[in-house]
Chains A and B, each alone.
Chain A
C-alpha cells in the first residue's frame, strides 16, 4: 500500500510539473517576442508606426501558433469539468483587459501620449493576468501563486512611468521583468514537484 501511495505521489508530481513547465513556456514565448521588438527598434532613432504594427501583428500570430498546443495541454491538465470554461474565461480576461488598458485608462489619465499609452499597456497586462488567475481559481480550483509577479510588477510600476524618459520602453521592459520572474518561479516549482 505504501508503495502504491508513493507511485501515485510521483505520478501526481510529474503531472503537476508538466503543467507548470507548459505555463512557463507560454509566458517565455511572449517574453522572447517582446524582447525581439526591443532589439529591433534599439538602433532606430524613430520607430515607424508601420513597423510597430507589423511586428506586433506578426508576433501575435507567432504566439498564437506556438502557444496553441501548449495551452491546450495546460487547460486539459488544470481544468475540472471541461477546459472550455477555462479557455473562454482567459480569452474574456484578455478582451476586457484590452478594452480597459488600451481605451479606458489612456482616456482617463493625464500626461503626454506615450505616458498614457505606457500606463495603458501596464494596466492591460495587469488586468489580463488578474483575470487569468481569477479564471483558473474559479474554474480549476487552483491558485496560481507563481503568476502573481506578472500582474504585481507592472501594476506597481505604473506610477514610475511618469519618471521615465522612455515610457513605452520602460513599460515593455517591466512586463518582460514580470514574465521573466514567473518563468523562474514556475520552473522552480516544476523541479520541486517532479
Chain B
C-alpha cells in the first residue's frame, strides 16, 4: 500500500520529498544550499527540480547578486500537496 501510494505521487521520490519539506519550512532556498543539505549531485538535483517545477510545486529563478545564483521557491500548490502527502503518509504508517 505504501509503495503504491508513493509511486502515484511526484513526492514519492525521497529526494523530491526532501526538497519540498526543506522548502516548506523556509519558503525558498538556493540551489547550492539544497545540494548540500540533500547530498546530491547538481545534475540529479536539477532533474528533480525540473520535475517539481513542471508540476507547479516550485518556481525556479535566477538571481544575480555578487554572482549568478539559482533560487528555488515553493508555490502554494507545492505547500498544499506536501502537507497532504505527509498527512496521508502518516495515516498509512499509523495503520501499519
Contact = CB atoms under 8 A, between A and B. Distances in A.
B44 interface: no
Interface SS, A side: helix
Given A5-B93, A8-B89, A80 B83 contact: yes
B93 A1 contact: yes
Nearest to A14: B25
Interface in B66-96: 74, 76, 79-80, 83, 86, 89-90, 93-94, 96
Interface residues of B, number: 15
B76 A69 contact: no
18 contacts: A1-B93, A4-B93, A8-B86, A8-B90, A14-B25, A15-B86, A18-B25, A76-B24, A76-B74, A76-B76, A76-B79, A77-B24, A77-B25, A77-B83, A80-B80, A80-B83, A81-B80, A83-B79
B10 interface: no
Interface SS, B side: helix
B90 A12 contact: yes
Contacts of A15: 21, 24-25, 86
A96 interface: no
B96 A11 contact: no
Contacts of A72: 27
